[in-house]
Structure 1
Amino acid sequence: MQVGVVTSFETKGHAELRNLRLVDVEEGVVRAGLAIRIRDGVIEAIIPDDGSSEGSGTSGLPVLDMGGAFVAPGLINMHTHFSLSLPGPVGERLESMDPAGIALYMADGARRTLHNGVTTVRCVAEKGHADFALREAIGSGWVQGPRIYTAGRALVCTGGHGHSSDDTMECDGADEFARGVRTQIRAGADLIKIMISGGIAGEHETISTPQLTTDEMAAAISTAHAWGRKVTAHAGPAAVIAEAVRLGLDCVEHGYELTAEVCRAMAENGTALVPTLIVTRSGAFFDELGVPQWMQQRSLGAGERHIASYRMALEAGVDVLLGSDMPPFWPFEGTSAVVRELEHMHDFGLDAARTLRAGTLAPARWLGIDDQTGSIAEGKWADLIALPEDPLASPSALRDLDFVMQGGVVVRDDGRATPGTEER
């Protein structure tokens, strides 16, 4: 997807969007004949679109003619690494960057992510706590990027998954994991991530390798909950996931080797799943990064079991959430990684309306911000995307996304929106 140049007509947090079809993700329907009035970056009202040139009468807002586009809430990606470094030469280059280099690299990724329609992200392990600085820079308007909710560094055991990079913090024993949680919260973490099993990118482990004891998991989860933070876990095997769910885990990342029994427990306990289906079907991405064959074989070899796990989760009624793991903006198989992940979620069993909800309202609910984003409603942030086809019919419609608004400000416009009445 080529990002177009923003037109000279830019709203500054105030606008009225007309001539659109509003995508209602809560009800799973498209609503016609409406206009969206935005003031100070927030949706002030959803009103009938009478088609007049006088806009909202005395509102004084500039009008954007959306050309009949489908307007949907911005996407929310729940498994993001702006500083991702995998084994191979590209990863080695990232690992060698100084803090300033990493911060600039992450800022570029954040901008590209926003331009690809992702208006909010959940970061689940970033290098050197640069994510906190990036969150502040975006919030202050210094750089463009999605709204960031972050775990800071992920907590791992000595030698555990991801231990070789400074996007993790090694801990051993219950006391150290409790301290690790508090350390991330002190730095500003919105949530906590723990690595409870091996994974694809660890050379000296397997996906099924248990890595935390029950006491360590319990300490991390109970401490985080006491501080009002949810906990998500990188996890593959069913047994270790079952134990973590019993202890109150809020979310599972990947879930490569789930069972029907564990999925039922997740559903009963309200534990969500971010399946990241793309990571076990991304050979071209690995080739591009020079990822070694041992990792490629482990990843692609897990694909069939991964899909079976995902389908069991759907059957059990587990809440599934969008997360790409691969950088959301990355060009992949004719689209962006985040759209390709949504296509996989749909292709392997989730209907189109629920797929779009898994990338909008459902993540907002997990993050506790559904009163501010995740759907198009009065009082919510004006984080919006537009596209020529209906995303409730197929997530592939998102391949043609051509307009992004964040907080009422147009950050991408490939020529669809045109000025209506002038600002008075």
Structure 2
Amino acid sequence: MNDVVIVNCTVTDARAGASKSAEGRIADAAVWIRDDRIAAVGPREQVLERVGEAQRLDLDGAYLTPGLVNMHTHLSLSLPGQGGDNVKNMTAHELVLYMADGARRTLRCGVTTVRCVAEKDHADFALRRAIESGRATGPRIFTAGQALVCTGGHGHEANDTMECDGVDGFRRGVRTQVKAGADLIKIMISGGIAGEHESIDTPQLFSDEMAAALQTAHAWGRKVTAHAGPAAVIAEAVELGLDCVEHGYQLTPEVAKRMAERGTALVPTLLVTRCKEFFDELGVPEWMQCRSLGAGPRHLESYAMALDAGVDVLLGSDMPPFWDFEGTNASVRELECMSEGGLGPAGALYAGTLGPVRWLGADADLGTVEVGKYADLIAMDADPLTDTSAFRGVRWVMKGGRVVRDDRSGWEKQ
């Protein structure tokens, strides 16, 4: 059994930001890890009295938080352009190895859980099994499998989507993903920035198709998230019971208010409308760059509306979580944008940890530094409750009680 006690750290989680809870903020703390879970957490001397001969792991005064959760992940992302074409042209074997490398890099940057929202060929399920069995290194994976899209709809060009039409088609689509092992369902209900023959505000599903997908998923105990841009389309889906909106480029105050009332979360993915450097790196064509970057100002307005209405906003980068971008990785840069856009450091800590796992129904195991939860932890030298950019300094990562990154020694668990 793994038996280690972490010392010389300040425990910080989202409970401290929300309610000034003493359990969420402990200076000179110790965290006892037995096997893959937290056995005790509290002031150092109190914990050490119970520990006995467990190995000590000194974090040199770091701030210790739960690992980040990225709720909009595509490990097999292939945008229009040369970079995306390279991924589309991979064999099945090459694709899985490519995704496994992305998973390893994702975990190393401090993202210990991801929600995949459209992956190619159901390779995500094979990758998840490999990670869970210890044959590959990566974050915990919750996945939608393939996203459901109407014929010719948003994302139909790649095999990370399944084309469906009509009530029966969308019911079958949901059941197909559940059969494969999906934890949630994703539907594409409007156009977006990456579809050449559509616009952001193009409606793509009829009411009966949306209702069929939602009813079937909910009957199987799965939540549904939707790629969605325009307010009118989102409003209709919210009334039908949608659980989460991805992007929300063109919200209105009225629709944001209704989302808050109905408990519909928002994963704003702010980076996707302000990432020219990323697009240039992948060779994304001019038409997509213009559409994406041109949507940026309205996108920020929509995000502000969601915050004003009290919508639960959650971290999701859309870019690969580990991607080097503007001096950090995409997950941290997205969280900074959310914080700078009005959420603030305490809200950002919640949006990157406890909020997502509550949506996933995993808060009994993840999201805070509490007894009984998985030891999925990260450490940094600055205080994330003071400045979200503290996450740029993540230098130590643990998942399930095993250290997978420690910059002090330059060591990485293989």
One-letter amino acid of the structure 1 residue matched with residue 9 of structure 2: L
Contact 2:27 2:43 in 1 (8 A): no
CA distance in structure 1 between the aligned counterparts of 2:221 and 2:72, rounded to whole angstroms: 20
Contact 1:64–1:417 (Cα < 8 Å) also in 2: no
AA matched with 1:47: G
Give 1:59 shift: 3.2
Shift of 1:416: 7.6
Are residue 79 (structure 1) and residue 72 (structure 2) matched? yes
Aligned partners of 1:58 and 1:317: how far apart in 2? 42
Normalising by structure 1, what TM-score? 0.94
* Aligned counterpart for 1:99 among listed residues 87, 92, 96: 92
Separation (CA, whole Å) in 2 of partners of 1:284 and 1:13: 43
C-alpha deviation, 1:369, in angstroms: 0.4
Query: How far is 1:48 from its partner?
Result: 2.6
Structure 1 residue ranges (4+ consecutive) displaced by more than 6 angstroms after TM superposition: none
Q: Is the 1:124–1:154 Cα contact (8 Å) retained in structure 2?
A: yes
1:302 equivalent in alignment to 2:291: no
Equivalent in the alignment of 2:210: 217
User: Match of 2:125?
Assistant: 132
Identity over aligned pairs, percent: 65
Q: CA deviation at 1:94?
A: 0.6
Q: Quote the offset at 1:26 in angstroms.
A: 1.0
Other structure's SS at 2:58 match: strand
Work out the CA distance in 1 between the residues paired with 2:105 and 2:122. 20
Which residue of the partner structure matches residue 64 of structure 1? 57
Q: Which residue of 2 aligns with 1:406?
A: 399
Partner of 1:9: none
What's the CA shift for 1:34?
1.9
**Aligned letter for 2:15?**
E
- How much has 1:37 moved relative to structure 2? 0.4
> Do structure 1's residue 46 and structure 2's residue 41 form an aligned pair?
yes
Higher relative CO (CA 8 A, sep ≥ 6), structure 1 or 2?
A: 1
Which letter does structure 2 place at the counterpart of 1:266? M
Which residue type is aligned with residue 40 of structure 2?
A: A
State the partner residue of 1:16: 5
Kindly indicate whether residue 168 of structure 2 is the aligned counterpart of residue 175 of structure 1: yes
Answering whether residue 28 of structure 2 is matched by residue 33 of structure 1, we say yes
2:96 and 2:129 map into 1 onto residues whose CA distance is: 12
Counterpart CA distance in 1 for 2:43 and 2:211 is 52
Conserved in 2, the CA contact under 8 Å of 1:200 and 1:298? yes
Partner of 2:248: 255
> In structure 2, do the counterparts of structure 1 residues 417 and 26 end up closer, same or farther at CA, with 3 Å as the change threshold?
farther
Following superposition, the deviation at residue 329 of structure 1 comes to 0.3
Are 1:161 and 2:154 matched, yes or no? yes
C-alpha change, 1:94 and 1:58, in structure 2 (3 Å) is: closer
Please state how far the C-alpha of 1:57 moved relative to its aligned partner.
Answer: 6.0
Distance 2:95 2:145 in 1: 14
Distance 1:417 1:269 in 2: 47
Between the aligned partners of 1:363 and 1:75, the Cα distance in structure 2 is 9
Contact 1:38 / 1:382 at 8 angstroms: preserved in 2?
Answer: yes
Structure 1 residue 25: Cα displacement: 1.4
Q: Secondary structure of the residue that 1:103 maps to in structure 2?
A: helix
Tell me if 1:147 matches 2:136.
Answer: no
Deviation at 1:14, TM superposition (A): 2.6
Shift of 1:144: 0.5
Greater CA drift, 31-40 or 361-370: 31-40
Quick check: 1:346 aligned with 2:335? no
- The amino acid across from 1:92 in the alignment is D
In 2, are the aligned partners of 1:75 and 1:359 still within 8 Å (CA)?
Answer: yes
**Is the Cα contact below 8 Å between 1:335 and 1:399 reproduced in 2?**
yes
SS in 1 for 2:148: strand
Structure 2 CA distance for aligned equivalents of residues 58 and 18 of structure 1: 12
1:305-324 → structure 2 map (5 Å cutoff): 305-324=298-317
> Is the alpha carbon distance of 1:311 and 1:46 closer, same or farther for their aligned partners in structure 2, counting shifts above 3 Å?
same
State the 1:61 CA deviation: 1.4
Do the aligned partners of residues 416 and 93 (structure 1) sit closer, same or farther apart at CA in structure 2, a change above 3 Å counting? closer
2:315 aligned with 1:326: no
Which residue number in structure 2 is paired with residue 422 of structure 1? Answer: none
What TM-score do the two structures reach when normalised by structure 2?
0.96
Unmatched 5+ stretches in structure 1: 1-11, 419-424
Cα offsets for 1:107-145 (capped at 9, x unmatched): 000000000000000000000000000010000011110
Q: Distance in 2 between matches of 1:42 and 1:187?
A: 29
| Match in the other structure for 2:101 | 108
Contact 1:405 1:411 in 2 (8 A): yes
Q: Is the partner of 1:68 in helix, strand or coil? A: strand
SS of residue paired to 2:72? strand
Which is further off, 56-65 or 320-329? Answer: 56-65
Does structure 2 retain, via aligned residues, the 8 Å contact 1:207–1:237?
yes
CA drift of 1:394 comes to 1.1
Instruction: Report the Cα distance in structure 2 between the residues aligned to 1:282 and 1:271, rounded to whole angstroms.
Output: 27
- Aligned in 2, Cα 1:58/1:289: closer, same or farther, shift over 3 Å? closer
Q: Confirm whether residue 373 of structure 1 aligns to residue 366 of structure 2.
A: yes
The answer (yes or no) to whether the contact 1:67–1:417 under 8 Å persists in 2 is no
TM-aligned CA deviation for residue 33 of structure 1: 2.6
The CA distance in 2 between the partners of 1:346 and 1:291, in whole Å, is 28
User: Counterpart of 1:190?
Assistant: 183
Q: CA deviation at 1:31?
A: 1.8
Any idea what the Cα deviations from partners look like across 1:319-365, whole Å, max 9, x if unmatched? Answer: 00000000010000000000000010011110210111100000010
Partners of 1:32 and 1:168 in 2: how far apart?
A: 47
Normalized per residue, the structure richer in helix is 2
1:13 deviation in Å?
3.8
Aligned with 2:342: secondary structure?
A: coil
1:195-220 CA distance string (max 9 Å, x none)? 00000000000000000000000000
Aligned to 2:354: 361
Deviations along 1:243-302, one digit per CA (max 9) or x if unpaired, are: 000000000000000000100110000000000000000000000000000000000000
